[in-house]
Amino acid sequence: MFHIKICGVQEIVDIEAVFGSGADAIGLNFYPPSCRFIDPEETSAAHLASKAGELGLTRIGVFVNAPVEAMQRASERLELEAVQLHGDEQVGIVSGLHDKGITEVIRAIKLPVGPLTIQAIENRVNPWASLGTHLLLDADGGKNHGGTGKTLDWGTIRQWSDQRGDVSWTLAGGLNPGNVAAAIAKSGAASVDTASGVEEDRGTKSGRLVSQFSKHALASLQRS
């Protein structure tokens, strides 16, 4: 689906920085309590999505416990390539999205930080993986639904992935320019996602950090 996703972009300059860095996807955050929120009904959101489309970036809408109709409306208005479920949604929502013509669905799987077991990962992943949903493995942010800056147990994730073998997934959770290469090498991830890891001030993207993140991620992905 993508190799490097920069999530929570809010400005045209962010879009340009993502494209210039070699990353290939953006996340547009439609969760109102988030410091990275943008309103999908506002003209500014349409401008961001349009610019990203012109540059060939994959546009992903990030939703938390949103009605299917709201996701459909935003997807159509902004020509999103995928929707990301980042809340407490249940598996039944996938068929509802498919019925509305939204076939590309990403499910954030919130894993505990600290040591994991293969079975603990599988227990959270399996209901969604069985539907063919792309998985985003993230650190459990509790009521904040992400953005903790905490990393996951990359080694056990690799063991799970090697054992499972048939799942499309992305690594998230506390990734930044300083650790993304190690994260890819240890986890075997084929794609990565970051938000706070490329911000100098919370909620504000840094073009310098976006560039560094993508540079290190691309180099590591090419080696893996």
The pLDDT tens digits for 163-196 are: 998 899 999 999 999 999 999 999 999 999 999 9
Ranges of the chain with pLDDT below 50: 145
Neighbours of 132 (CB within 10 A): 12
pTM: predicted TM-score of the whole model, two decimal places: 0.95
Active site residues per annotation: 7, 138
